[in-house]
Amino acid sequence: MVRAGSGKTLAARRKRTRKLTKGFRLSRHNLFRQAIVTLIRARAFAFRDRKAKKRQYRRLWIIRINAACRMRGMRYSEFINGLQRANCILDRKSMSEVAIHDPAAFDKLVELARANLHPDMAIAHAHGAKK
């Protein structure tokens, strides 16, 4: 004889799973076993990509800051080094926004960084040599 499958509880669980898999292609959204496997993978990818998204944005901000610094005759590494020595606590996201929307303020940041560069770097920069 077949055992009972706890009707209401099981049906509710499957309904909840089908709701979560809405939008999945073909049988992955309505065949329960395939839906479970696909949902597990989707959640793993979502977790991974939330971390990757943060890395991608940081890369974008650094590229923007580097471009803005190069337009003002300074390398990104020198700029960051000078700001760290000046105890400037702006993060890269904020500096990127300033570089885009307020060039005059970014000019002041570049001057601040230039003023606080290590003396050897400042001399090398003035002569155009690479250290």
- Tell me what pLDDT residue 126 has: 61
With 0.85 as the threshold, say if the pTM is over it: no
Mark the ranges of the chain whose per-residue pLDDT is less than 70.
121-131
- Tell me what pLDDT residue 50 has: 97
- Tell me what pLDDT residue 57 has: 98
Domain extents in the chain: 9-52, 61-127
- Tell me what pLDDT residue 125 has: 61
Candidates 108, 106, 85, 86; CA nearest to 94 is 106
Q: Which CATH architecture has domain 61-127?
A: Orthogonal Bundle (1.10)
- Tell me what pLDDT residue 38 has: 96
